[in-house]
Each structure stands twice: as structure tokens, then as C-alpha cells.
Amino acid sequence: MTDQAPDADPDIPGKPTSASRTTLSHIMTQNDTNLLGTVHGGVIMKLVDDAAGAVAGRHSGGPAVTASMDEMAFLEPIRVGDLVHVKAQVNWTGRTSMEVGVKVLAERWNESTPATHVGSAYLVFAAVDADGKPRAVPTVIPETERDRRRHQEAQIRRTHRLARRRAIRELREKRVAEGLVED
């Protein structure tokens, strides 16, 4: 595996991981709960998308749209009164796309205990121009050993995304060729 996408634009200078890394914090209220009395997963997913979008826009230097959410893992429930911290950074870049990794932490608003890791997500963003067309993004430059690990893991996820997409397309083409077309 290479350290950057083979189609990366050499005319755009790379940016270090720290240049766009951000944390969004929000206190959870009664308005955020589901029927079980814990914070609704959709509320957390919106915060994740908001933080990831900010990071993607910062890294790419302009608008970026959510292309996919690879994975959203909820590890612990979040409760009313929890102060939630959503930490995001660009893990990998292609020519026009970026994988953003997000870590969700929660702590009680009125206690001095360490925050707990309650969720993680990986999203893919595409940088777009004013007409909504894809535009080139800077290569991300991992700075720490953790950044380098995240970069390598992101490459593996990208390979799996592309393989899954190709396998589904081939299956659908095969079914059409066999006359098994579905509505």
C-alpha cells in the first residue's frame, strides 16, 4: 500500500493531520432522548456528521459533502446531563475524497471523572466546487505514530469499500444477464 492515493494532485501542498483536527462539545438534554431515556443514536450521528464535515471542509479548503458513513459503533449509552465531545480528524485522502475518523467521548457534566469512549465512526467526504462537482483535496500528512496507524487502517477500509462495491455491481450484472431483473 502506498502512503497516498496514486491519483493525488501533486500541485496541491499536503496538510498535516493537526491542521483540521477539531472537537465539538455538546451537553445532552431531555430533548435528545429516545423512548428508553438515553440519548437517541440519531442525535449522536448528527453531531458526528457535523464534526466530520467541519474537519473535511477545513482540510479541503472549501465545501465537502458526506458521501458515506462506513461504520458507526455505539459502545456505551449516553445519558441526559452527559457532556459529549466529538473528536474528528482526516485519516486518509484520495484525489477528491477524504476519510474522517470520529471518536465520541462522554462525561458527566457535574463530575470530575475522565470521559468515557462511547462511540466511533468513519465517514467519507467528497470535496465539491460551487457547481457541486468534485474538486481535488490536499494529501493528509500523518504526524504521529497514531496518525500513521489511522492512515493505514483507512487504506484498508477504502480497499474493502471498493471491493464490496465491485462485488455488488458484478452480482447485479450477473442477475440481469440471467434474466433475474428485480424492480
pLDDT at 12: 83
**Pairing status of strand 15-16 against strand 140-141:** parallel
pLDDT at 8: 64
pTM for the full predicted model: 0.88
Specify whether the CB–CB gap between 116 and 107 falls below 8 A.
yes
Q: Give per-residue pLDDT as tens, 58-86.
A: 999 999 999 999 889 999 999 999 999 99
Mean pLDDT of the 12-19 span: 93
